[in-house]
Amino acid sequence: MTHRQYKLIAALLALAALTAAACSGGAAQSGNQSTPTLAYKALYEAVKKKDPEAINKVLSTGTQEMMKTYAGMQKKTYNEVIENGLTETTFAPKLPESRNEKITGNVAILEVKNEKTGAWDALPFAKEDGQWKLAIDTYFRGTMSPSGPTNPEHPGELPPGAQPGVPSATPPNGKPSLKQGPQPGTPLAPGSVPPAEQTPPPAPTQSGKPSAQPEKSKGIKPPTR
């Protein structure tokens, strides 16, 4: 084999190595949902790219179903209601700070800085098929609160005796709402899908009130600018 042939083979091997590295690097950086923190990053990037398919991949099954119901009631497309990722934190021009990632079984809470309000918003996540996804529906169903699972012994489940939140009839303000059953004391936080009367609405906060009489108009309303 001539010296020229050796050089050609070496050049081809180097090119192949660079191509493989670029492909693997891109896969690692795009859509990584192996932790709640990385899942939030994937959500933020998808929102900034205006990529509804990528946004949808970072939403839990329950959240997808809930927002499809909302979209139908508001006569909007599903992509329209999820375009901001269901959290005000995505309004930030740069990836916001996050802290206190707390994983309990297959559910988690991640605090993300809301640059609009200056507060740290507690975002709920759930692990589905090995991937972490934003699970706003868990706030409405009462299985999660901003401090973590409402049933620590069985994360992702309701406390004993509590009834899940279910879609209610449309209230007078025309916004769909989720309300809990008659069991008092069941945590129900408005989450990132906040009260309809506030524009732009706040991120997840714990109501601190008995669920027997939900606060007025805890409607599903994605954040808008």
| pLDDT per residue as tens digits for the range 69-125 | 999 999 999 999 999 999 999 999 999 999 999 999 999 999 999 999 999 999 999
pTM for this predicted structure: 0.66
- Please write the tens of the pLDDT for every residue from 123-144: 999 999 999 999 999 999 999 9
Q: Could you tell me where the DSSP H helices lie in the chain?
A: 3-29, 36-48, 52-57, 61-74, 78-82, 137-141
* HSE-up (13 A, CA, CB side) for residue 39: 27
> What does the alpha-carbon distance between residue 144 and residue 175 come to, in Å, rounded to a whole number?
23
107-113 and 98-104 beta bridge pairing: antiparallel
Whether 222 contacts 82, CB under 8 Å: yes
pLDDT band at 189 (very low <50, low <70, confident <90, very high): very low
Mean pLDDT over 21-25 rounds to 42
Confidence at residue 221, expressed as pLDDT on a 0 to 100 scale: 63
How many helices and strands, by DSSP H and E, does the chain display? 6, 8
> What does the alpha-carbon distance between residue 61 and residue 58 come to, in Å, rounded to a whole number?
9
Mean pLDDT over 152-157 rounds to 94
